[in-house]
A and B are shown apart, each in its own frame.
Chain A
Amino acid sequence: MDLRKTAAFFVTVITCLFFFGMTGAKAAEPYNLGVALGLTGTGALYSADQVEAVKLAVEEINAKGGFLGKHKIELFIRDTQTKPDVGVREVKDLILRDKIKAVINDYSSAVALAVKPIAQEYKVLHIAAISNSENITKINPSPYTFQVVPNTYMQGKASAVAVAKMAKQKGWKEYITIASDYEWGRSTQAEVVKVLKEMVPNLSLKKEFWPRLGEAQFTSYITGIMAMKPDFVFGVLASNDNVAWMEQAKTYGFFDKIAYPGSLISVTELILQAKTLPRNIIALTRAPFFAHLDNPMMADFVKNYRAKYNKFPSDWAVLGYDAVYALKQGVEKANSIDTEKVKDSMKGLTVNLTRGKLAFRTIDNQLSCSSYVGTITDDPKYPFPIYKDIVEVKGSESERPESEILEARKAEKK
């Protein structure tokens, strides 16, 4: 019999597990904040900026003692690889091991959708600051999920209105859409197509292209679209995909031949592709710092961000910073870091952010924030082009009416 050896083997195993388990336990005094973003994969470009801004916000708050002056914020940063499966695992890990009270997540709307029920189950605040699919807050709403970025309905509406105006002016007849084949691309494209149909009835959608999320080779799409000679193309691509698409389309002379109005070109792209971006096209973005420099909070943020990172903040940096400060004001109103209380106090709360005084809608926890449409133009003040003639489409002008949200929820339940 080797029972002794067997016993020794299992005792070792159990001891090891105990040891692992102990490392998970931590004191409860600090406020543990999780950041789970797509740091590798397609979303890396936007997510990296956001992490930097979150770090800056946390440093500022901790310099004053933390939340409520006494709860130091501890940051836990994880990579979701822009994949729903990995995202769920990482967030679960953050909740159970790092005992986070809130998580900023994600780049991808598909990941945010998968994380939402997990956050609700474990009663952890979930703040979406890049991912903006309307479905995150519209159907199956979670009281723990807040969105500080204009959602796909608001963005789609803002850009579709601008595009419709141009289409009427120029007498455009046919168009093509090219959108990333996942939640964000699908829901934005659907909204834009719907609004365009209502506003310009004789406009026809000739074809839809759905490159996969993470596509790097767009040449066949480009020649294919150019062959169909549409009057304009509407693009719903972001981050790495958007850069690859714009770079390749430009080398084909795409933008000289075909109008490309109203598509997402964020500050990240403006900076990264400063030399190569086509000028004078109308584009859409979510939180450009240069639209709100008159707001002292934004001016300070830009100054501090530049001092720390030696670059201008992108939309995603602005949104990450706002996410932390929205949470801060929620904690202050609740006068507690207890998640249940913070969740309730944030409902309908008006917060002071870099983008001005904005309120969370009670019905869906969506921040009633603006979308920005403008013309890409060079500016001597910056080493990259910025938006000129900015039209700020307010949240109140672009939100989905509450009655429609209730209807959608009813339809979902059946």
Chain B
Amino acid sequence: MKNKYLFPVILFLLAVALPFIVPEFWVHVLTEILIMGLFAASFNMIFGYMGQLSFGHAAYYGVGAYTTGLLMVKANVPLLVCLPLSMLSAGLCAAVLGYFCVKLRGIYFAILTMAFGQLVYYIIFQWYSFTGGDNGLQGIVPPAFLGKAANPYYFFTLIVVTLGMIALWIISESPFGYTMRAIRDNAERTEFIGINVQRYMHLNFIIAAVFAGLAGALWGPFNRSVAPDLCSWQHSGMPVFMTVMGGPFNFLGPLIGSAIYTLLMAFVTSFTEYWPMVSGIVIIVVVLVMPGGLLGLLRDRLPFLRQNVGRAKETNG
């Protein structure tokens, strides 16, 4: 019990210290790790805790990114106001679409989430007058108090992501979180003890989308622009990759996975353009030889990592 918070706290201190040590390029990489880490952690609420594979999670990330982008570019709304509004819009979107998704399980759940993801993608893509279509939106600049340097925005991201992760942690450790685990392990039995499984799943789906929206909202000011590709099915694959690399059965797994994936990408792309091939090979190896991801592999060796979600077989419909 003493060690439970040791790993996250060290991780946080590391995150605070690193920007003062590494060159500016790596500060950008770290910012990306944090944003994608929050995105992957929100995805893992559905994947690791609910046992369903969402292949359209980028839709909510994209809705968050566009909410902030549109508000900042067209209405000059301050970023701090945009963040909660992005969470709200992503949540509303998930409230509607998720209602249908949670009726399905397994492969059907995966495909329906993907179909909805593509639906959102094409709406953003085709609505040229409002969203800028394929061009995306440019000129999303972080607020003046953060300036234009890399470090201030990194620390802003660090604070927001840390708060987001703490919120997700509290939810996952609450009775609600344990109900989700029960649903994952045996939905039928959970239904029998008087729990409205579908309503719980729907609520969880919305929570996951809200935090994906928050992660998306951070992306626009970081990259100075947003593009419809943020919602595409390829982008939905990213949190899956990251979570599987880091370990879906650990709360911090997705964040660690995001760090591995993003660092690897930054490293590999500096000497080859064949990053997709490299990432493909790496992930195949991960899936075949270490199904629990990196943290799953380390768990037995390093006891301080033991604050896992509780391993169980995934249930498919």
Contact = CB atoms under 8 A, between A and B. Distances in A.
Check A-B contact in the complex, CB < 8 A: yes
B299 to A, nearest CB: 13
A25 interface: yes
B223 A88 contact: yes
B279 to A, nearest CB: 14
A241 interface: no
B21 A18 contact: yes
A200 B18 CA distance: 64
Contact of A85 (B23, B229, B304): B229
Contacts of A212: 125, 134
Contacts of B302: 2, 5-6, 9
B14 A13 contact: yes
Given A110-B135, A181-B133, A88 B24 contact: no
Interface stretch (B97-105, B163-171, B245-253, B264-272): B264-272
Given A97-B25, A97-B270, A2 B304 contact: yes
A17 B24 contact: no
A261 to B, nearest CB: 26
Interface string B125-142: 110100001111011010
Contacts of A5: 302, 304
B223 A89 contact: yes
B270 A23 contact: yes
Nearest to A184: B135
B148 A84 contact: no
B225 interface: yes
Interface string B285-317: 000000000000000001110000000000000
A57 interface: no
A118 interface: yes
A382 interface: no
Nearest to B17: A14
A137 B249 CA distance: 51
Contacts of A93: 25, 266, 269-270
A25 B23 contact: yes
A212 B229 CA distance: 13
B28 A92 contact: yes
Contact of B227 (A10, A13, A21, A84): A84
Interface in A1-17: 1-2, 5-6, 9-10, 13-14, 17
Contacts of A182: 133-135
Contacts of B138: 113-114, 116-117
B263 interface: yes
A24 interface: yes
A6 B13 CA distance: 13
Contacts of B125: 212
Nearest to A99: B25
A18 B225 contact: no
Contacts of B223: 85, 88-89
B262 to A, nearest CB: 11
Contacts of A110: 134-136, 227
A24 B7 CA distance: 29
Contact of A88 (B21, B25, B225, B303): B225
A363 interface: no
Contact of A24 (B14, B25, B230, B269): B25
A322 interface: no
B80 interface: no
A271 to B, nearest CB: 25
Chain B interface residue number, banded: 35 or more
B26 A6 contact: no
A213 interface: yes
Interface in B202-242: 223-227, 229-230
Interface string A49-77: 00000000000000000000000000000
B134 A117 contact: no
B23 A96 contact: yes
B22 interface: yes
A10 B125 CA distance: 43
Contacts of A248: none
A85 to B, nearest CB: 4
B174 interface: no
B3 interface: yes
A83 B229 contact: yes
Given A6-B302, A14-B14, A121-B148, A84 B136 contact: yes
Contact of A17 (B26, B135, B304): B26
A15 to B, nearest CB: 11
B135 to A, nearest CB: 4
A106 interface: no
A194 to B, nearest CB: 17
B10 A6 contact: yes
Contact of B225 (A25, A79, A114): A114
A140 interface: yes
B6 interface: yes
Contacts of A85: 136, 223, 225-227, 229-230
B145 to A, nearest CB: 17
Most buried by B among A18, A79, A85, A110: A85
Interface string A115-158: 01110010000000000000000001000000000000000000
A39 B273 CA distance: 10
Interface in A217-254: none
Contacts of B141: 117
B268 to A, nearest CB: 11
A186 interface: yes
A116 B225 CA distance: 11
A183 interface: yes
Contacts of B303: 2
Nearest to A39: B273
B273 A24 contact: no
16 contacts: A2-B302, A6-B304, A10-B14, A13-B14, A17-B18, A20-B26, A20-B263, A24-B23, A84-B227, A88-B224, A89-B223, A92-B28, A96-B23, A110-B134, A113-B138, A118-B224
List the 3 closest pairs (A to B, CB-CB), nearest first. Answer: A96-B25, A182-B134, A110-B135
Interface of A: 1-2, 5-6, 9-10, 13-14, 17-18, 20-21, 23-25, 39, 78-79, 83-86, 88-89, 92-93, 96-97, 109-110, 113-114, 116-118, 121, 140, 181-183, 186, 210, 212-213
